[in-house]
Amino acid sequence: MSGAFPISTAKFGTLGIKSIQNTIISKSVSGKRLVRQIDNQRFAFTVQIITGTRSSTYGELMAFIMKQRGQKETFTIIPPELEDARGNESNTVLVNGVHAVGDTTIAMDGHHNDNPHAFKAGDFIKFASHSKVYMVVADVQASSNASTVTIEPPLLVALANDSIVTYDNVPFTVALTSDIQEFGVSGVDNQGKLYYEYQFDVEEAL
pLDDT at 30 (0 to 100)? 84
Show contacts of 177-181: CB within 8 Å, 24+ apart. Answer: 177/44, 177/71, 177/201, 177/202, 177/203, 178/70, 178/71, 179/70, 179/71, 180/70, 181/65, 181/70
pLDDT tens-digit series, residues 48-83: 999 999 888 899 999 999 999 999 999 999 988 888
Task: Say yes or no to pLDDT of 86 above 80.
Answer: yes
pLDDT tens-digit series, residues 119-148: 999 999 999 989 999 999 999 999 999 999
Using CA atoms, how far apart are residues 188 and 68, in angstroms rounded to an integer? 28
pLDDT at 37 (0 to 100)? 81
ω into 6 cis (within 30 of 0): yes
Domains of the chain: 4-80+172-204 (no CATH), 84-168 (2.40.30.290)
pLDDT tens-digit series, residues 90-121: 999 999 999 999 999 999 999 988 889 999 99
Q: Determine the 3-state secondary structure of 128 from DSSP.
A: coil
